[in-house]
Amino acid sequence: LLCDFRSQGAYLSHVMPEFLLTPEDYEIWTEVNTGLRRGSMRSSGKLSGERFFALESRTFETMSKRAWTDVLLQMYKVFVLPRVYSRICPDPLSLESLQNMPGIKLEPLCSNIYSRYERAILIWLNKNYEKNRQIVWKDSQRGGIPPMRWIVNFDQDLLDGLVLAAQMASYCPYLISTHFIKMYTNPRTHEQFLHNSLILVKALHAISLDMDIKV
């Protein structure tokens, strides 16, 4: 299964097949392959002489959750994102304020990190954020209008929640006055980042798009 995903462009080289087992099956797998107690390290003939580390139960649970999260996200990337066509992706230069910003190209070979479909989403995020930041937070009492930013990744650039809020405001503008205006537009502390995240979760609940996210 993992080999098939990798052949289709999924980045799963860090995911070991045994991390996708249930705790009970992992226990059996560990005993069969090593015959050792968890937490010990020794060469195993059944693993071609490679050194193998058997994880403790709590550590395995953490690794398994991370592995399954990465697998599901990569499945989404491989099977869902290809349906995102460049013809429906807005041109980032259509906004005058974005004309001086470096562009994000969709050509397959212009990035060794993101696929063309992921870059299409980055273009969409950039345009919606720039289009809506002055609308959503024009009356903000918690930092004013946030500055323009170049969104080039899906982790650090989305960390403060403002980019995601701008996307939601494009389709649900009624959430601006009830939720997004309360966000910190220049968060600096962990508490302020958490505050913004909680507002996003509450906004998702308000439109019945909670996806099992709990506050």
Least Cα distance to 140 among 192, 168, 182, 178 occurs for 182
Residues near 194 by beta carbon (within 8 Å), at least 6 away in sequence: none
Residues 84 and 118: their CA atoms lie apart, in Å, by 9
Domain boundaries, given as residue ranges, for the chain: 2-79, 85-206
Q: Tell me the C-alpha to C-alpha distance, in Å, between residue 143 and each of 99, 160, 173.
A: 26, 13, 20
* pLDDT tens digits, 1-47: 888 888 887 888 889 899 999 999 998 888 887 765 444 444 444 44
Looking at residue 38, its pLDDT comes to 46
Looking at the chain, the whole-number percentage of residues with pLDDT higher than 70 is 74
pLDDT in tens, 90-147: 554 455 555 565 555 555 555 557 777 888 888 889 888 988 999 999 999 999 999 9
pLDDT of residue 161: 95
pLDDT of residue 173 exceeding 50, the answer is yes
pTM: 0.68
